[in-house]
A and B are shown apart, each in its own frame.
Chain A
Amino acid sequence: MIASIAWKNVWRNKPRSLIVICSITLGTVAGVFVAGLMNGWVDQRIKDVIYTQMSHIKLRNPNYLINEESQYTISDYQQITSFIDTASEVKNWCSRLTIMAMATTSRGSCGLILKGIDPENEKRVSNIQELILPGGGNYFGEQTKLPPVLIGDKAAELLRIKSFRIDDRVLDSLRKLQLPETTINKLKQIADIRFVTDRKFKKALNSCLTSAEIRKYGPYIIDLAKYYHPKAKITFSFTNAKGELSYQTFQVCGIFKTSNSTFDQSSAFVQSSVLSMAAGFGENAFHEIAILLKNGDSDLIPFSEKLSNTFNNANVMTWKKMAPDAGLMADFMNFYYFMIMGIIFFALAFGIINTMMMAILERIKELGMLMAIGMSKRKVFSMIMLETVFLTLIGSILGMLLGAALIGITGRVGLNFASIAEGFEAIGYSAVVYPSISSSFFIGVTVMVIVIGILSSIIPARKALKQNPVESLRIE
């Protein structure tokens, strides 16, 4: 009965209740969407860390971690691989040689970590083969005259095997995308000029297009004007197993792009058999074993401890230790999302209290009558508390539904922050975000809303309970 009256009381002054509900709805939508956006970023970062860069667990020679000298390969390799082959927690694993190298082409040079992999095994642990750029070759698929190498988009730029050029093909494609002819004509000013870096090409675009045109069409133009030079030759110099300088020339088979430009700038993949021979390593000499777990993070700590306890000569590291920023986010983001929601609801609570105070002051006489005819203070308190909770719940449920719909839509199509992509990718975050949020977040928000509703009702309810029935009934 109390709940039924409380529900009806919510709708006594429809415009006022609707205004409060709208403000709660908007606040909730904003909070849910911001949480979804951040969660999308963090999820993507964690996926990149695990499936592109690190895997769940890595085993290395402890000395390798101190000075990264290539002689420090994994001891007990056979025993370790036999152990992880039979471990039920392991989904897949692969071994890698990792050697610091200097890469040189006829036009540029840069330092890289050369990773010797078995391409087939690597595919089971990492998703690097899915990240080959369109027009950027393939994943060790095509026969090349020299041993193949897979390099990152940023390294390709530094080695000058990537360039930008506006030519007839690009202009035709832009016409098909229905870019205005005036914009296309402006682009003709820089037609057939070869730009070897992103920055130089963007500078040229800035000089011939307006900022509005760049904002609107820039990403399409950059994408279409990009040229790679697969099959370019790169010579790597590195220290071999004996500590002497060695050289090996590779031919680019593919160019990949992850959401982390630092990784793209510093990583190159070659076949381990080629690198092993070039660097003079024996069979079963590897610098790291990367393990992907079946149950992900739930087995992470127990299995890493199990490995540490079993193999004293190996350093076992989880992805959370290797990428502490991502690990920290994985552990604390839920708390952070609830903090955002808490701040929003805290601010909304003042509006709710104000509305409820008005509702109480308008009903002083009625509340006096209710107490006079026998409604206990506990029931009066419950009624006001329920009114506040209903008001808050309606707004927040609507907000959560709209927020979830917004996350659902943007999560499918993605949000492209192309204009600030460089900054994002430099710190390892994708410029295209796919917002997402777990259902447990909504359960948590619902509990939070109920608590906020109860807390917001305390002041108005106390005001109501302080009324003396006799004095309240005298009010005209």
Chain B
Amino acid sequence: MKVIEIKHIVKIYTEAELEVIAVNGVSLDFDEGEFTAIVGPSGSGKTTLLNMIGGLDNPSSGEILIGGMSITSLKGSELTNFRMRNIGFVFQSYNLIPVLTAKENTEFVMNLQGKSKRECETRSLELLKAVGLEERVNARPAKLSGGQQQRVAVARALAAKPKFVLADEPTANLDSKATETLLEIREKLNRKENITFIFSTHDNRVVKKARRVITLEDGKILSDIKKNGSD
């Protein structure tokens, strides 16, 4: 079942009166439960593509359908609401809320959705246990290592049961051990929750684990390889 359908999207930026084509006529589909790595050199359009899929940026032309619904026509609070209910985000620099504990950070999106306190607590503890942080639920981000913070970020992204998770270079700031742990957790959660993961990355360890690898260059798809046996 298709979770995301991208139909010939183009993104043009104007910088110093020059037009820069960041994404140039990309069409893609992503299936439920798929783990995709988008690779490519810096400036190839990975982050721009991810931002458009995540509804953070609008394409200059083309259409993006999530669960059959076009998000390119959504504006303002509709789009914010859509992101909250359907998309999980993991950022390169974790971006946890420093004044909240690991548990409170995980519950944050569920709270925004208006879930009950009990439901939030059960789900956040379940996810923090799944990412191996059951002992650190009450620790604030400043008291956690980079790898632990990224695991909390993954737990937060999954907490509200999104249709898919977008991760922009999630392992860029992590060491090998932390990267390995994060990938194992992703794999475990993917099996358990059947959520689509899309990572933009430079990291070969991520590429090796991905079932599908899309290579971008100059805003265009250079290759789209679906692997068997990975993961």
| In the complex, chain A residues 1-25 whose Cβ is within 8 Å of any chain B Cβ | 1, 5, 8-9, 11-12
Q: Does B80 contact A (CB under 8 A)?
A: yes
Q: How many residues of A contact B (CB 8 A)?
A: 22
Q: A1-B111, A369-B91, A470-B51 are in contact. Are A376 and B98 (CB under 8 A)?
A: no
Distance, CA A375 to CA B113, complexed state (A):
9
Distance, CA A376 to CA B156, complexed state (A):
17
Q: Does A473 contact B (CB under 8 A)?
A: yes
Q: A372-B54, A372-B89 are in contact. Are A5 and B100 (CB under 8 A)?
A: yes
A273 → B minimal CB distance (Å): 81
Q: Does B77 contact A (CB under 8 A)?
A: yes
Q: Given the complex, which residues of B lie within 8 Å of A374, measured CB to CB?
A: 80-81, 83-85, 109, 112-113
Q: Does B99 contact A (CB under 8 A)?
A: yes
Indicate if the CB atoms of A376 and B99 lie closer than 8 Å: no
Distance, CA A34 to CA B89, complexed state (A):
54
Q: Which one of B57, B77, B99, B109 contacts A373 once the chains associate, using CB atoms below 8 Å? A: B109
Indicate if the CB atoms of A376 and B108 lie closer than 8 Å: no
A53 → B minimal CB distance (Å): 61
Q: Does B95 contact A (CB under 8 A)?
A: yes
Q: Which residue of B lies closest to A10 (CB)?
A: B99
Distance, CA A8 to CA B140, complexed state (A):
12
Q: A373-B84, A373-B109, A470-B51 are in contact. Are A8 and B99 (CB under 8 A)?
A: yes
Indicate if the CB atoms of B84 and A9 lie closer than 8 Å: no
Distance, CA A215 to CA B205, complexed state (A):
85
Q: Does A202 contact B (CB under 8 A)?
A: no
Distance, CA A12 to CA B108, complexed state (A):
18
Q: Does A365 contact B (CB under 8 A)?
A: yes
Indicate if the CB atoms of A8 and B112 lie closer than 8 Å: no
Q: Does B56 contact A (CB under 8 A)?
A: yes
B120 → A minimal CB distance (Å): 9
| In the complex, chain A residues 46-75 whose Cβ is within 8 Å of any chain B Cβ | none
Distance, CA A379 to CA B76, complexed state (A):
13
Q: List 28 A-B contacts (CB under 8 A).
A: A1-B108, A5-B100, A8-B100, A9-B99, A11-B99, A12-B99, A365-B95, A366-B95, A366-B97, A369-B91, A370-B97, A371-B80, A372-B83, A372-B89, A373-B83, A373-B108, A373-B109, A373-B112, A374-B81, A374-B84, A374-B112, A374-B113, A375-B84, A375-B112, A376-B81, A377-B76, A377-B80, A469-B56
* B residues adjacent to A (C-beta < 8 A): 51, 54, 56-57, 76-77, 80-81, 83-85, 89, 91, 95, 97-100, 108-109, 111-113, 156
